[in-house]
A and B are shown apart, each in its own frame.
Chain A
Amino acid sequence: MALLDFLAAIFAAALAGMGVGGGGLFVIYLTLVRGAEQLAAQGINLCFFLALCVPSLAVHFAKRKIRLPIALLFGLSGVFGTFLGAYLLSLATPVLLRKAFGWLLLASGALALFKKKK
């Protein structure tokens, strides 16, 4: 299982670094393959995502692909949102949280599948 974990993590991180799947893929692996509780998987995934972002962002910074004012504007307004999200999380039962995450995946999967190629 340790090897499978390692392969899943490196694969999900590489894809996220390329803009495929984002951090959500690892949550899917942890919940559906490893049987983790949704909340536990979310906590692990947050740390996982922060770790993969460090080298990824360093490369993007070096290539001058990040527009820092926009990223800061977006990220800092998002910080306020995380408080609302965490409050909603405190109200949700584990089953409701899992189902809501399922709906988020359905919506984002459908968006990605039917997005017109530009």
Chain B
Amino acid sequence: MRIKTAKPFLAIAFLLLCGFAAGTVNGLFGTGGGIIAVFALANVPFFKNLLSPKEIFATTLCAAFIMSLSSVFIYARAGGADFSAAIPHLPPALAGGYVGALLLDKVKTGALKKIFALLVLYAGAMLIWR
């Protein structure tokens, strides 16, 4: 789908709508908002012409961070999730996040994305039909 508008007002309205949808997915699954964000920014000409692919990724990561902060607060208030189990995973997350961001400019990720798309398809099928 391609949104054929270069008008800032319509582009921003579409972006807000996609932001809301991305937040809904983030709140429901604790992840997944980023893909909607990338889709929105990559397919609205007004923004597409404004941002390079790497800027789209970095900008959506920032937006997903804001949404995830909100989701953590909501999960914590609802009391359904045990965040203490996350503590051992935080040091490797910090190290990996730093290394990944440094590599963004240096590594071509096209083939890697296809491999992981296959992994994601397999995992999706396992979760559905398990």
Contacts and interface: CB of A to CB of B under 8 A. Distances in A.
Contacts of B94: 13, 51-52, 54-55
Given A48-B90, A67-B59, A111 B35 contact: yes
Interface residues of B, number: 94
A14 B103 contact: yes
Interface string B65-82: 111111110110010111
Interface of A: 2, 5-7, 9-28, 31-32, 39-60, 63, 65-68, 70-90, 92, 97-113, 117-118
B10 interface: no
Dominant secondary structure of chain A at its interface with chain B = helix
Contact of B24 (A2, A28, A63, A85): A85
Interface in B66-125: 66-72, 74-75, 78, 80-83, 85-86, 88-90, 92-105, 107, 109-110, 112-114, 116-121, 123-125
Contacts of A85: 23-29, 71
